[in-house]
Structure 1
Amino acid sequence: MSKVFTIAEGLENLGALRTGGQGSVYKGKRTGTIYSAVKLIPTPIHTESGDDKNYRNFQNEVAKLQKVNEIPNPNIVKILSWGVTESGSFPYIEMEYIDGPDLNELLAPPHEKIFSLKELLKVADQLACALAHCHKVGVKHGDIKSNNVKYNIHTGNYVLLDFGLAIMSEEQRRSSIRHAGAVEFMAPEQHEGKMLLQTDIYSYGVIVYELLTGEVPFPLTGEGDSGRNAVMLGHMEAEVPDAIRARKLNLPEDWPEAKMRQEMQVPAWLINLINKCLQKKPEDRFADGPELHDAIVTGSLSATAGTVGTGIAGVSKANIDVLKTENKRLQQQILELQTALSAETIEYEASQMPDNESKITVSKLGFNALVALLVLFIGFSVYAAFYKKDARLPKTITQDSLKTPTDTPAQTPVEQQTDLPANDAYERKRIRDSIKHVTDSIRQAVIDSTTNAERDKVQVDTPQP
């Protein structure tokens, strides 16, 4: 058996994990200074046995907290141990120490009064992830506020701390809230000592509202009970102030104008989410952490896909108003440009027209129609002229015409017609030939006038009077 040696002072060797030609890997145990955070519960436990009701409740709630750490979550503080203090017999829970500022410190100088949208969405997502993890195992935090969420400077994550209120009884919670609770973050039902899954949702909404606007919806303005009562009344009855207006008022004055415009493009889905979290009735909020986190994921995806928000998922109302204004401005510019071009065109055509003449434009279809009417008119005139000539020719007297009406039987109307002289057939043929010649000549003229495919219209010049 090989000898187990000490690697260095404070670093214990627990045995080899694997060996190879380039070296060996050992399992070590750090025995140096380790920092932790210890939460003391203000209710003493008389005996550490099942006969003590407070001790039983404490054990039950600690068992729930241990479930939270069965599956590690980067946004939840680790529970290291729990027990009862040797002096005073106070129950305690030992938690991982998170090195870094809390949200309350990040909102105070020298930091900006509000969070950037990018960092705000990061906090909203990670804190909702922590609540979803807790609620899945049945743990209600009960004390979510700005100084219970810390930024871990080593990992870059936001971590939910202090599960002390989660292991208190309802009576202990009511007493703690009445005297020392952060009333600005409390849901309306908490003032009656109730703690629901939706209670954590309400406090979450207060935090996100605070990061967005730089202040909580109902700030505490006095130190006494009157100030606390006014805040409680606000949570129970008053309408939540407009978050967009509050953010605009608290924009840092030293920000460039472009950054101010960018930071005011708040996604509509985020405003809707905050409003739902801050509903007075618990049943009107998100049911629990998983439903809250799903809403954030859905909202983020819709914004990435280009759907808004107030009608286009992820696009704010300010974005839509700007686009509408710009669209109207562009349409007005196009209309003015079209009007100017039309005026210039009319002026140019007028300048190109000779002073002593004007032109009448006739379409090809209209010209062909006029020619056709002219052909019909000429043909009719020629026919009428020859017909009148035939009517004036002398009638031929035959022997049958000398007969009296009584000498011949009644004749039909056709037989009563006057016979033409023998040269009538020749005259008729000549008339037809003349009409045909005129018609053919006009038809050829029409064909010649329409065979030119490059001319779409015919201009007929008329002298000015």
Structure 2
Amino acid sequence: MAKVFTITEGLENMGALRTGGQGSVYKGKRMGAILSAVKLLPTPIHAENAEDKNFRDFQNEVEKLKKVNEDPSPNVVKILNSGLTESGSLPFIEMEYIEGPDLEDLLKPPHSPIFTIRETIKLADHLANALAHCHKVGVKHGDIKSNNIKFNTETGNYILLDFGLAVMSDEQRRSSLRHAGAVEFMAPEQHDGIMLFQSDIYSYGIILYELLAGAVPFPLINRVETSRNMVMLSHIEKQVPDLMELRRNRLPVEWSEEKKANEMMVPAWLLQVIEKCLQKDPEKRFHDGVSLYEAVNNNNQNVLNNEQVTSVINELKTENERLTNLVEQYQKASKAKAYMITGIIIFVCLTTFGINLVLNKRSTNAVTDSTNIVNKPTQPIKNHSKTAPKNTVSPVIPKENKDSLRTVPVSKKDSIKPKTTKDGLSNDVPEF
């Protein structure tokens, strides 16, 4: 890529990012792979000494910008360097290069024409923090508009860029705003070249209005002087159109009916902040970025918007369904377990009952058999002729003669005979 001109030693010009009446922004490259964004101011400085008013004003404002970086903010672009170009003697401010789209791009297709409530509140918080950070050290930005706020894709933060007007003199600023300023975002007093802390507050309100409504309150139809004057006059005299009506007409068709209904529930505190920021009289707005940030931060912490409430309710419903299903599973498992245990108990009981029944039956049979043996009548023994002994007949003897009688043998066996031995002697021992 051919260089248009040399910026400064060690800083390569890689081409214009954006050009305009208030100056141009170029992409720069330092030694190595470090990228930066370089803001070139349109008014040349011919002498780098205190006698040159332009140079003196530039130096004073640059010193203020350095204070912004003494305590870096995640929502304010870092100022890396400043000076005069080697060719053309144009003042420049070198800032970190932020990778990501700006708000103007995020409101164009394929993106939705409006922001969600959640994302609007996020930007409101980030941008209010950026203004508070700058206003604390006395720096007024003066040129807050859609393409001066970027979404950092690396950090997820919204970043305030381009402090070009901040380093201009009052006369340069007045001329620049009148002929090249973004009149759609300018406070009424800025059309007279006046820049206050409250001027940044007004532009902040226009930003939030644009995100919710999908358009600024007083759009610029074309760049001709007549259109610019009409917009300026509208900021001074006209009331802003109904934000909610514009939002309703710009709801994306691809959103569900439920989402559309939720996205129309913009928190009252957010609408009140926007209304206060857009007051015609600067004194009726927030005094500076510090008081603005306090209002936004307090409401953001203490009040849940409807989208968040719906999200929480949906999460609770999902969790409740999960727990209900879990309980049902436990109940089913418990019932099955109870049935199984009951079955086992019944089986054990029946088995025990059966065993006892068998044992009792056996015991009863044994007792019955024993009883039968004991109680069985004795059968008379039949006499057989062969085995029965011969009965003796005892004569009836009168009682008085009983003792005087001797026994008479009834058979030959019962008679006792003396035996004769071989020698002819008789044996007196009887033989039975």
Name structure 2 gaps, 5 residues minimum.
Answer: 1-29, 311-432
Matches within 5 A, 1:28-427: 32-304=32-304
Shift of 1:223: 2.9
Shift of 1:129: 0.3
SS in 1 for 2:303: helix
Mapped partners of 1:123, 1:239: distance in 2: 24
Mapped partners of 1:204, 1:260: distance in 2: 25
Shift of 1:231: 0.5
Mapped partners of 1:79, 1:196: distance in 2: 22
Mapped partners of 2:162, 2:284: distance in 1: 27
Shift of 1:198: 0.2
Shift of 1:315: 7.1
C-alpha contact 1:303 1:315 (8 A) present in aligned 2: no
Which whole-Å deviations, capped at 9, do the CAs of 1:278-323 have from their partners, x for residues lacking one? 000100100000000001012223314xxxxxxxxx679xx9xxxx
**After TM superposition, which residue ranges in structure 1, 4 or more long, deviate above 3 angstroms?**
none
Q: Which residue of structure 2 lines up, in the alignment, with residue 388 of structure 1?
A: none
The letter for the 2-side match of 1:224 is V
Shift of 1:105: 0.2
Mapped partners of 2:260, 2:248: distance in 1: 9
Mapped partners of 2:99, 2:131: distance in 1: 21
Mapped partners of 1:298, 1:142: distance in 2: 26
Mapped partners of 1:221, 1:91: distance in 2: 32
Name structure 1 gaps, 5 residues minimum.
Answer: 1-29, 305-313, 320-465
Mapped partners of 2:188, 2:223: distance in 1: 20
Mapped partners of 1:184, 1:60: distance in 2: 29
C-alpha contact 1:268 1:315 (8 A) present in aligned 2: no
Mapped partners of 2:126, 2:222: distance in 1: 32
Mapped partners of 2:38, 2:32: distance in 1: 19
Q: What root-mean-square deviation, in Å, do the aligned CA atoms of Structure 1 and Structure 2 show?
A: 1.5
**Percent identity over paired residues:** 64
C-alpha contact 1:140 1:200 (8 A) present in aligned 2: yes
C-alpha contact 2:251 2:260 (8 A) present in aligned 1: yes
TM-score normalised to the size of structure 1?
0.59
The letter for the 2-side match of 1:248 is R
Mapped partners of 1:229, 1:109: distance in 2: 29
C-alpha contact 1:276 1:284 (8 A) present in aligned 2: yes
Mapped partners of 2:167, 2:211: distance in 1: 28
C-alpha contact 2:262 2:306 (8 A) present in aligned 1: no
1:315/1:33 CA distance change after superposition, 3 Å: closer
Q: Which residue of structure 1 lines up, in the alignment, with residue 420 of structure 2?
A: none
C-alpha contact 1:49 1:56 (8 A) present in aligned 2: yes
Shift of 1:31: 5.4
Please identify, of 170-179 and 120-129, the stretch whose mean Cα deviation from structure 2 is larger. 170-179
